[in-house]
Chains A and B, each alone.
Chain A
Amino acid sequence: MSSIALQARPAKASPLDALQRWLPKLVLAPSMLIVLVGFYAYIGWTFLLSFTNSRFMPSYKWAGLQQYERLWDNDRWWVASQNLLVFGGMFIAISLLIGVVLAVLLDQRIRREGLIRTIYLYPMALSMIVTGTAWQWLLNPGLGLDKLLRDWGWEGFRFDWLVDPDRVIYCLVIAAVWQASGFVMALFLAGLRSVDQSIIRAAQVDGASLPTIYLRIVLPSLRPVFFSALMILAHIAIKSFDLVAAMTAGGPGYSSDLPAMFMYAHTFTRGQMGLGAASAMLMLGAVMAIIVPYLYSELRNKRHV
């Protein structure tokens, strides 16, 4: 409206109108600047550093792809990457499964739903450090579940995944799933509540059983919820640092190392900033590989609608 008016009578534009035109840009400018500098500029800087032989402090001696080659030859990096695949995959799959099942069960108009929902959602309120420390105690063979059950009489009981280099990664999955599945449940519960009840009644009239209704009608209509849950879980998985730091510190050995831990250790404690920067770039690449196709498909869908 106002812009049309302005075009019609440009001579009479008051300073207030100009201010009004500039105001949104002015208000957005600081946060835009922070994002540009604090985010994109530092991505650029990290990218630059990954091609240098920076060690203790940033230096700008060009080293080409040397840091990436080193990363390629680094056993620990491969362990960390494989761990991320196992951890991320299992964490996302199990959290989604448990979250959906809990949501469907809670959707059955049971009593005390509010209380139960709160209980399941509470783990999300904890920080990963707390979760990690608590689960470390629970899963520690000399301290937690293992000792408890043996003290109760199951002498042969042994649950020592936390100290077993081959299985320790599953301990991380257990703790992370415990924390996140309540949140997934809440997302899906909200989705389920928004499904049109008349569709469900119509299906019931047609004689469809309850499992069929959920599997064939309700859940497929929750595709957007599924995608947002997937996105949130995926980025929790990739940036996971505090959970590992608190629970295993990457051990035993470096068998439960994750890329974020690797990056931190090399950049900040071992004085191999170049290598750390290269690993950070690869992590960014992994995130982009997930986010970009997703954004692409989402944005395209919107245009078609």
Chain B
Amino acid sequence: MNAIHRLALSVSLALPLLAHAGEVEVLHWWTSGGEKRAADTLQKLVEQKGHTWKDFAVAGGGGEAAMTVLKTRAVSGNPPSAAQIKGPDIQEWGELGLLANLDDTAKAERWDEMLPEQVRKIMQYDGSYVAVPVNVHRVNWLWINPEVFEKAGATPPKTLDEFFAAADKLKAAGFIPVAHGGQPWQDGTVFEGFVLSILGPDDYHKAFVELDNDTLTGDKMVQAFTALKKLRDYIDADAAGREWNRATGMVIDGKAGMQIMGDWAKSEFTAANKVAGEDYQCLPFPGTQGSFAFNIDSLAMFKLSNDDNRKAQEDLARTVLEPEFQTFFNQNKGSIPVRQDQDMSEFDACAQQSMIDFKEAAKGSGLQPSLTHGMAASSYVQGAVFDVVTNFFNDPKADPQKAAKQLAAAIQAVQ
């Protein structure tokens, strides 16, 4: 009896002490190798600030599974503190009135000065910060195996013509010119590269952000489809269904000469102990040198009722943008820090180049959201584009003219 009494006393005394520290629950799908390490760092940093971290990792399906869980939690009025939500989806959640206002933290930490305008817009709903960006991926990269290029006598391409000329040489030398995985999002990534290259960033914006009908059916869009069709001749017959990292593996092994993929491909090269600039080269996708198609991971913050938890949530938001976390996370993920004032000396050549291009592109119109990675338009527009592009790419008889019309019609139909 006495023991219970003492226990109750100590608990009641301890409670007010504990109550100062809040709890953050973070829903994410950073579950594979380097990503997991990156998430663990965030946990450590938040715990150093005296809060408890409740991990809510839902693996699988590029976040599809996680989103289903999140919807259930949000509908039942019990959302986590933060969730990995990105792009226009943030607006959808904001519209439901579920997201917290981070303006105070943003002002104190001077986010406005740190983040480029294009990034700020995505993180804000109705003019207020509701999410915090974690990293910046560049999608329009071309990965090259220099040894294969040398053997085939090809030169790294800067324009689309040079790209196809190099592909011809690689093919003649018996290599697979372009390593590709035939999955809708990979087809989309390649198509997006061609669109950015042929239409240029301004018309890219018109087509994929403003969804302008004339641009979508215009001559240049037809050219982009024609280029995509031409690419069919330079990929191997077994590409269907291949995962992107297996395609990267083909470049690493020297079976294929190049791959069109975002900078997450770098993590595969790093894992194979290859050095950027020596064992492999990263070039902007031919014809998109001044442009930067971005894919930004972000954590959206949900409205909470508990004050301590809200405090913890603010600390989490602050931590995410601290240089220490930005460096560690992005080195593990292949992306670059979202802070423009970040010291890049610890990063590799590709990341340094990416940062320079990012800052440069942010000044003009070169910084554009990636459609394929859910940054430019809602998931239904993205899905409609995938359907048209992947169907076109897999049909040898497909007509580029017709595909452009189908693209416009499909986008119209889902709006």
Contact = CB atoms under 8 A, between A and B. Distances in A.
Interface string B74-118: 010000000000000100100010000000000000000000000
Contact of B96 (A57, A74, A140): A57
Interface string A252-290: 111100000000011011111000000000000000000
B374 to A, nearest CB: 10
Interface in A163-186: 163, 165
A71 to B, nearest CB: 10
A60 to B, nearest CB: 14
B390 A254 contact: yes
Contacts of A269: 61, 64, 67, 379, 383
Contacts of B268: none
A74 B413 contact: yes
A73 interface: yes
Contacts of B387: 75-76, 254
B369 to A, nearest CB: 17
A136 interface: yes
Nearest to A267: B68
A271 B237 CA distance: 33
B383 A252 contact: no
Contacts of B183: 249, 251
B238 A142 contact: yes
B383 A270 contact: yes
A73 B390 contact: no
B155 interface: no
Contacts of B414: 70, 272
Given A142-B238, A160-B237, A253 B391 contact: yes
Nearest to A160: B237
Given A57-B96, A141-B237, A141-B238, A251 B394 contact: yes
Interface in A208-260: 248-249, 251-255
A145 to B, nearest CB: 13
Nearest to B393: A253
A84 interface: no
Chain B, interface size category, equals 20 to 34
B277 interface: no
A117 interface: no
A56 interface: yes
Contacts of A252: 182, 240-241, 390, 394
B332 to A, nearest CB: 26
Contacts of A266: 383
A271 B378 contact: yes
Contacts of B182: 163, 251-252
Contacts of A57: 71, 75, 96
A122 B187 CA distance: 38
Interface in A26-67: 55-57
B278 interface: no
Contacts of B394: 165, 251-253, 255
B380 A272 contact: yes
B133 interface: no
A255 B89 CA distance: 28
Nearest to B92: A56
21 contacts: A55-B92, A55-B380, A56-B89, A73-B413, A76-B387, A76-B391, A141-B237, A141-B238, A143-B238, A163-B241, A248-B240, A251-B394, A252-B390, A253-B393, A254-B390, A268-B67, A269-B379, A270-B379, A270-B383, A271-B378, A272-B383
Interface of A: 55-57, 70, 73-76, 136, 140-143, 160, 162-163, 165, 248-249, 251-255, 265-266, 268-272
Given A73-B413, A268-B67, A270-B382, 20 more contacts: A55-B92, A55-B380, A56-B92, A57-B96, A76-B387, A76-B391, A142-B238, A160-B238, A163-B237, A248-B241, A252-B240, A253-B187, A253-B394, A254-B184, A268-B68, A269-B64, A269-B67, A270-B379, A272-B380, A272-B383
